[in-house]
Structure 1
């Protein structure tokens, strides 16, 4: 049985953080399995795909360099993604890896469009704000634009998580 099939069986049933941590540990010990788990992020079954992205997100915290070659594909997947949990995890992977030079304008536009969008989850909004800052911090003109947007946001309409992120990023700017 191929490793991807083994991983799929594990991800196709209700799963806990402990199970995810076990998969992360296994892949850290055998990095060649990264391609197998990453392949499952495009699985036809939404729950398998989401759980595989969750594993990749945890891997990106430990080994962000593993995901640099996949950056453009992950950005494109984020732009096309409709699942809230997957969007948050894809954003988190992108946040964990170093910013490319030149920065991705598609990703920056996505962040600007989604950071204050009421239809987005709190996690996607907060990560979009943080990612926008990460992308803009070495570009003075873009940083000013971000600051103006955040300063002119009516924070009372947002959750505590988004308000906290707004406040923290404005302090950094």
Structure 2
């Protein structure tokens, strides 16, 4: 399968599942997918993000070697919500090496403090930051303040996630 051509055919759950299945059966094709996800233009990046996100849940070991590249990608100016959302979703569910904690925590906090960030990106960023704080408890007060600032104006999802994170922070 030519992943690039398949992504361009349609943006659907069915097509995403087809590509995920193909890569699960042909793990060497992760190289092409990640090249598209990191280096292509807007539409292909957006469509590949869904595949990366689903693959990260079904076969996280295929995505984990790319964690440094994913973190670097999150710093891109004007990055579409889809790669941010799917990257942060994956990162909240996987083990992050200590060497990446500081940089990833800073990115998560920037997303949380941004007025323009999508709700899902903020929600996943809360969990990513919290997972780091569990290992670096001296950051818990900073995260708690940022989460508390989100609650009065947050969507129901942000309020729910925020309350859960605050409750968990108080137990640390």
Normalising by structure 1, we get a TM-score of 0.88
- 2:164 alignment counterpart: 168
Q: CA RMSD for the aligned pairs?
A: 1.8
Normalising by structure 2, we get a TM-score of 0.88
What displacement does 1:104 show? 2.6
- Cα contact 1:20–1:55 (8 A) shared by 2: yes
Distance (Å, rounded) in 1 between the aligned partners of 2:132 and 2:139: 9
What displacement does 1:119 show? 0.8
Query: Could you give the per-residue CA deviations for residues 14-47 of structure 1, whole angstroms, max 9, x where no partner exists?
Result: 3211110111111111211111211211343311
Unaligned runs of 5+ in 2: none
What displacement does 1:68 show? 2.1
Larger mean Cα displacement after TM superposition, 12-21 or 81-90: 81-90
What displacement does 1:75 show? 0.2
Match of 1:16 among 1, 8, 12: 12
Query: Could you give the per-residue CA deviations for residues 41-93 of structure 1, whole angstroms, max 9, x where no partner exists?
Result: 13433111221121111111112222222111110001115212221112222
Aligned length: 168
What displacement does 1:154 show? 5.3
- Cα contact 2:92–2:125 (8 A) shared by 1: no
What displacement does 1:95 show? 2.1
Unaligned runs of 5+ in 1: none
Structure 1 runs (4+) deviating above 4 angstroms are none
Distance (Å, rounded) in 1 between the aligned partners of 2:77 and 2:61: 23
Distance (Å, rounded) in 1 between the aligned partners of 2:64 and 2:150: 35
Query: Could you give the per-residue CA deviations for residues 138-173 of structure 1, whole angstroms, max 9, x where no partner exists?
Result: 21211233224334x252211111111101111222
